[in-house]
Structure 1
Amino acid sequence: MPTVITYNTLIRGLLAQHKSAEARLLFENLIKFREVQPNVVTFTTMIDGLCKTGHTDMALWLFRFMEKCNCKPNIVTSNTVIDSFCEQGLADDALDLHSEMIENGILPDVWSYNTIIRVLCRLDRWEDVSMLLKQMMEDINISPDVHTFTILIDAYSKSGKLDDAKHIIEIMSERGVYPDIVTYNTLMQGYCTQGQTAIAFDLYRKILSEGLSPTIVTHNILVHGLCQMGKSMEALTILYKMQDQGHRPDIVTYETLLGGLCKNRYVDKALSLFQAMECNGLLPDSKTYNIVICGCLCNRRYNEACKLVDKMVNCGFSANGFTQSLLHLLLSEAQDPTVLAIHQKCLH
């Protein structure tokens, strides 16, 4: 006879193969015929599958049904439903279940708190965030981890509260929690968004001094920040620094730089970078082509734009809405034959 472990393995396997209907049927038959008593792993596996397929209401019903089967949910079961609520922005439902967990003697862990704090921050419900942090540290006696602090830094940074975000770093040090590269990237992003790239570079130097390895995301944040401030040539030096450190620039790096160079009228540099990108084995996509084509059009480099359009069309890409609008604008100003030819190629 198959055991509950057999059923758990089959249900998990079916869900992993995206065969949720078959998994549900197997589970329903298990409940219906009662050949084997499902355990907490069975229920949790099925609840996780329902949540991942967007059936949170059904997952919650199954969560309630567990008690009728004399099977008490554990922290993993509860966290699974809470996570699904938070992904849908249902913060109140997540908070209610969180309170219910504690009442039923299931103590939340740091993951439970991080999940709810993240959605509350996203909804700017700062009072609830403060309440949860207080409960977490004083009532349940759980120390926030690096992910908790990173969530708070991200929320403060996106709200423009950079002093509060910086203060979180100080609190981390006091509590003996060390920022990781994601924490620093998050804070750097906040400073660059506010145009404070000098402070972002101070953080970059701090990352190096603490022995952390900058990631491609770290460098892309700096490149984007500099380009936003019109310092595209300085941003270009970041690309060279990345390559010296053994980091391979990705499509985001190149597209950010190409856009910045074109905007600041460094078209020759942009065209050279576009060629270097291809030589380095990174194929441009539709967005890349449109960025450089628009840069050429804005700077009256129509012949280069025409050649790029030919390449773009041959690659199976087409002009986006911005490129089309720009061509219409240029044609309304003057009926340049090259622009007209570009427009005709884009239409095909």
Structure 2
Amino acid sequence: MYAKITKLDDAFQLFDEMTQRKPLPSVIKFNQLLQVVAKLKHYSSLIDLFKKMVSIGVLVDVYTTNTVIMCCCQMYRTSEGFAIVAYGLKRGVVPNVFTFNTILNGLILEDRILEAKRLFKKVIKEQLCDLDVVTYNTMIKGLCKFGNNDTAISLLRMMNERGYKPIVSHMTPSLIVFARTK
């Protein structure tokens, strides 16, 4: 059913059909529809659908909030992504590593590297989730983007000490040379 959706109007029509069902479909079905809308890159429409879901009482999960956060970040509205994190927390939805990776990437896209560094440190210090290679690579990419190569190299060393191997395609040429010599 979702594979047949190629236009935003088809997604809206299916959403309307889903909201008319009694009982409402599970959040998983709504998440699948949101994922299709995200693939179509209709981010603001996805956020509108999310708001409608909430208004009709669909209980969202971390997958739902992560999809909405990703859309906010893609539209350079990471602050709204933080608001979605807060919304989820109030409803018992605990952010995961994907949540933090998405927010960190959004901050870097918006040239907010200091905020990204603060969030990264907070996640580590408060053990908010287990970091993964994507988290480290996102930060390394952001640090290099802003010329903080020394900090990026330190982070690369920390990553190596923790047993993570960098994704070389995400690194700058100078860090690739450094990573290969280690």
TM-score (norm 2): 0.83
Q: Does 1:246 align with 2:163?
A: yes
Correspondence list, 1:6-45, <5 A: none
Encode CA deviations 1:152-201: one digit per residue, 9 max, x unaligned.
11111111112211211221222221100000000000111122122112
Q: Percent identity?
A: 23
Q: Does 1:123 align with 2:42?
A: yes
d(CA) in 1 for partners of 2:11, 2:89: 30
d(CA) in 2 for partners of 1:135, 1:274: 47
Correspondence list, 1:244-283, <5 A: 244-253=161-170, 256-258=171-173, 261=174, 271=177, 273=178, 275-276=180-181
Encode CA deviations 1:104-151: one digit per residue, 9 max, x unaligned.
65732212222333444521444x643x33442343x32111111111
Note if contact 1:156-1:164 (Cα within 8 Å) is conserved in structure 2: yes
Q: Per-residue deviation at 1:207?
A: 1.9
Distance 1:110 1:251, change over 3 A: same
Correspondence list, 1:226-237, <5 A: 226-237=143-154
Correspondence list, 1:1-348, <5 A: 81-82=1-2, 84-86=3-5, 88=6, 90-103=7-20, 105=22, 107-120=24-37, 122-126=41-45, 129-130=47-48, 132-139=49-56, 141-208=57-124, 209-253=126-170, 256-258=171-173, 261=174, 271=177, 273=178, 275-276=180-181
d(CA) in 1 for partners of 2:161, 2:30: 41
**Residue aligned with 2:4, SS:** helix
d(CA) in 2 for partners of 1:104, 1:125: 25
Encode CA deviations 1:246-289: one digit per residue, 9 max, x unaligned.
21223235xx132xx3xxxxxxx865x26526xxxxxxxxxxxx
Number of corresponding residues: 179
Consecutive unaligned residues in structure 1, runs of 5 or more: 1-80, 262-268, 278-348
d(CA) in 1 for partners of 2:151, 2:51: 44
Aligned residue identity for 1:222: M
Consecutive unaligned residues in structure 2, runs of 5 or more: none
Distance 1:162 1:250, change over 3 A: closer
d(CA) in 1 for partners of 2:179, 2:90: 47
d(CA) in 2 for partners of 1:179, 1:157: 15
**Residue aligned with 1:85, SS:** coil
d(CA) in 1 for partners of 2:37, 2:128: 33
Q: Bigger CA drift: 223-232 or 180-189?
A: 223-232
Encode CA deviations 1:85-107: one digit per residue, 9 max, x unaligned.
34x4x222133234334546573
Q: Per-residue deviation at 1:215?
A: 0.4
> Which protein, 1 or 2, shows the higher relative CO under an 8 Å CA cutoff with sep ≥ 6?
2
Note if contact 2:47-2:68 (Cα within 8 Å) is conserved in structure 1: no
**Bigger radius of gyration, 1 or 2?**
1
TM-score (norm 1): 0.46
d(CA) in 2 for partners of 1:185, 1:95: 29
